[in-house]
Structure 1
């Protein structure tokens, strides 16, 4: 009934298991980041300069989404189908961690999103260099990090009592992000296998050590 399809006609079938899942979850994460930053810029930014700066960062996130979507298409995968398994988990994460003010929004952008994306950066370590390079490109957050750090440090300097509340918020974000990562990994076993290279518990220990170290550096950079 169905024509025979040679393996070479579906490029993504030649990639490591989980590649389409990884690019799919990243594509939806970038699309969600674009939508959230746009909303935060319009509703939470205290100045027009802040609104403009965050809007520019949102445009960058959308450009990253397009890169991932186009790569999925070139691999022979349907981008919508690749993203759809992750919509529920990522939408739930954003609903559970909706910021109450500007500084909370910045901490979420820097700390919460940062540790979530660290999962996927680690997963890409085991992939073909061309895929790993793409993941590194879309996860570069130098401008976003600098923007968030400068604004949060300025906010704490102006009102030191906010530091404790923001530190608690950051811890909550990390807990929710780790929970989200576990849910995604358990729902998509092929994606989970990218996080380990065959050493089992040793790889898991290294992963969490890497995530913890990166989180501590982000907290220190913000002065929390």
Structure 2
């Protein structure tokens, strides 16, 4: 496929894009992820200002740059599909901004946990939905999500803070649990409120959907991955 072509390569994917509901679902998913990447860029750039060392400042700035590059790549894909990236992102500004305002970190450590736990849960959720997409869109989304995992840097700093003051662990564990609840609520809300995404999960255009049992298993997987991240941070208890 050439870079400017809006049509996926395979025959099945061309059939899928003939369905306006499927195209709308892809546009919605690319747009919400793109806006999420843009907001993550802004947050990480702001967090870099309060980093405790020059090395940490550079690490956070590097993460922010990766988030911004992802937003640009996703917006390019939206343009290839004939959508205006800014119009496509607009419906997600208010709910995502409200989520981040409601989960504003109290300090630098909480911002790190949010980047690792909260953003990690969002990545898992979008990756689950991406499994229902055409190859080109799915690969782009998964590539973007993989490039913005901040595990080594965050784990190192959070574990060091807990080792220096074990009381920090209890506070951050509560924060991680709160992020889990808020993020799941947001994910469910986005899936339910966007008709195209709901239809995508339900199936169509020769693509299998998810019944209630499958949805339950998906959220169980999200919960398990969250528990794994918390354990990685030393916040399992």
Normalising by structure 1, report the TM-score: 0.90
Asked if 1:159 is matched to 2:165, the reply is: yes
Whether 2:225 is the aligned partner of 1:221: answer no
Aligned twin of 1:14: 18
Q: 1:65 to 1:165 in 2, by over 3 A?
A: same
**Shift of the alpha carbon at 1:138?**
0.6
Instruction: State the distance in 1 between where 2:150 and 2:34 align.
Output: 18
TM-score, length of structure 2 as denominator length: 0.86
CA RMSD of aligned residues (A): 1.8
2-structure distance, mates of 1:143, 1:181: 19
Which string of whole-angstrom CA distances, capped at 9 and with x for unpartnered residues, describes residues 130-187 of structure 1? 1111011110157511111111111111111110100000011111111111221222
In 1, distance between residues paired with 2:178 and 2:78? 33
- The alignment of Structure 1 onto Structure 2 pairs a total of residues equal to 215
Q: Which residue of 1 aligns with 2:205?
A: none
Question: 2:116–2:149: 8 Å Cα contact kept in structure 1?
Answer: no
Query: Does residue 208 of structure 1 match 2:213?
Result: no
Residue 64 of structure 2 is matched in structure 1 by 58
Runs of at least 4 residues of structure 1 off by over 4 A? 9-13
Inter-partner Cα distance in structure 2 for 1:86 and 1:164: 33
| Equivalent residue, structure 2, for 1:122 | 128
Partner of 2:45: 38
Which of these residues, 118, 123, 137, is aligned with residue 143 of structure 2? 137
User: Any conservation in 2 of the 1:112–1:174 contact (CA below 8 Å)?
Assistant: yes
CA distance in 2, matches of 1:48, 1:130: 38
Secondary structure in 2 matching 1:194: helix
- The aligned counterpart of 1:70 is 76
Report Cα offsets for 1:63-101 as digits up to 9, x if no partner.
Answer: 100110001001111001110110011100110111111
Contact 1:106 1:148 in 2 (8 A): yes
Match of 2:12 in 1: none
Q: Distance in 2 between matches of 1:69 and 1:51?
A: 27
Q: Partners of 2:6 and 2:231 in 1: how far apart?
A: 46
Cα contact 1:121–1:136 (8 A) shared by 2: yes
Deviations 1:28-77 (A, max 9, x none): 000000001001111x3111211111011100000100110001001111
Find the aligned partners of 2:193 and 2:96 in 1 and give their Cα distance: 13
Corresponding position of 2:96:
90
Q: Distance in 2 between matches of 1:142 and 1:84?
A: 22
